[in-house]
Amino acid sequence: MCDETTLEDVEKYERAGKLTRRDFSVMTAGAGLALVLPRAADAMEVKGMDVNITTPDGTADCYFTHPTSGKHPAVLIWPDIFGLRPAFRKMADRLAESGYSVLVVNPYYRKEKAPVAESTNLGDEALRTKLFGLMQSLTPEGEMTDAKAFSGWLDKQGAVDTAKKMGTTGYCMGGPLVFRTAAALPDRVGGAATFHGAALVTDKPDSPDKLIPKTKAQFLIAIAANDDEHQPEAKTVLKDDFAKAGLKAEVEVYKGTMHGWCPPDTQVYNMEQAEHAWSRLLATFKEALV
């Protein structure tokens, strides 16, 4: 959702004593993130670096990480409203440790370099105003152009196995971008996953769910419980749309979760359910990125 309703839900849970605000600088300390993002026993050694990618609209600052040897399926990550930051670098590294070459992007590069936020506290009015303004500056056309540019860059990297399908993931506002990426690159994207995706089903002509017939990917849709409370029909619409398109899709509401529960630096991080979502992501990519 990424809106005032999300903020109201968070504040309601805080008043009920069900969650505690956490400072971004504390949560993004290396040791803290290492604790909340466990490393698999068979994790590969990875190498990460900041990169600049030329698009039709400018130069995008991004983070690219991959195993130190071999070629691996590419994955494009669209972050949430708070953008590219240490938490998403850590999440990208973790995915790379499982055998993927991962690019996480700054979707706001046309306006500002990352990081664009010093905290994940949407209760900060000035920050909320800034982030909503940045989010509203994005357009479906620009997002699809970006998807093609980022995919093209990935396919030129020595660590990417172009013989295998590409994956894409999106969090919060990144959810619609996953649908647009899969629609813009139907023959390249084989696996797509959204986590607490915002506005996946709307009554607008450019609603993300209307792009499903243009895609060929296998989907994982992980829905926050409070998002489902506000829009219970969305999951049914998505399931029906995927079925009509003949696409394999897992659409699940994650019990006890709030919008934004997956990144480890958010106010509503739910480690148990985030780990469940992560396991489903790995299973989806293992099956789809072949």
Give CA–CA dist 265/262, Å, rounded.
9
| SS3 call for 276 | helix
CA distance 106 to 56: 15
Question: Which tokens sit at 78?
Answer: 């669209």
Rg of the chain over all Cα atoms, to the nearest angstrom = 17
Number of domains in the chain: 1
Q: What is the CATH number of the domain that holds 214?
A: 3.40.50.1820
What φ, ψ does residue 167 adopt, rounded to 5°?
-110, 160
Tell how far CA 159 is from the center of its chain: 21
pLDDT of residue 40: 80
- Going by C-alpha positions, the residue among 168, 246, 239 that lies closest to residue 213 is 246
Q: Does 115 sit behind a cis peptide bond, omega within 30 degrees of 0 on the bond before it?
A: yes
Closest CA to 48 of 98, 87, 96, 84: 96
Reference 217, options 267, 252, 180, 253; nearest CA is 180
Tokens of 46: 């990875």
Q: Cα–Cα distance between 190 and 27 in angstroms, integer? A: 33
Q: Give the bridge partners for 194, in sequence order.
A: 170, 221
Q: Could you list the pLDDT tens digit for every one of the 290 residues in the chain? A: 565 566 566 656 554 545 444 433 333 333 345 445 888 889 999 999 999 999 999 999 999 999 999 999 999 999 999 999 999 999 999 999 999 999 999 999 999 999 999 899 988 999 999 999 999 999 999 999 999 999 999 999 999 999 999 999 999 999 999 999 999 999 999 999 999 999 999 999 999 999 999 999 999 999 999 999 999 999 999 999 999 999 999 999 999 999 999 999 998 999 999 999 999 999 999 999 99
* Residue appearing with tokens 């009554």: 203
Which residue range is the domain that position 93 belongs to?
A: 4-288
- pTM to 2 decimals? 0.92
Sign of torsion over alpha carbons 45, 48, 54, 58: positive
CB neighbour class for 20 (10 Å; exposed up to 12, middle 13-18, buried from 19): exposed
118 is written with which tokens? 């010093």
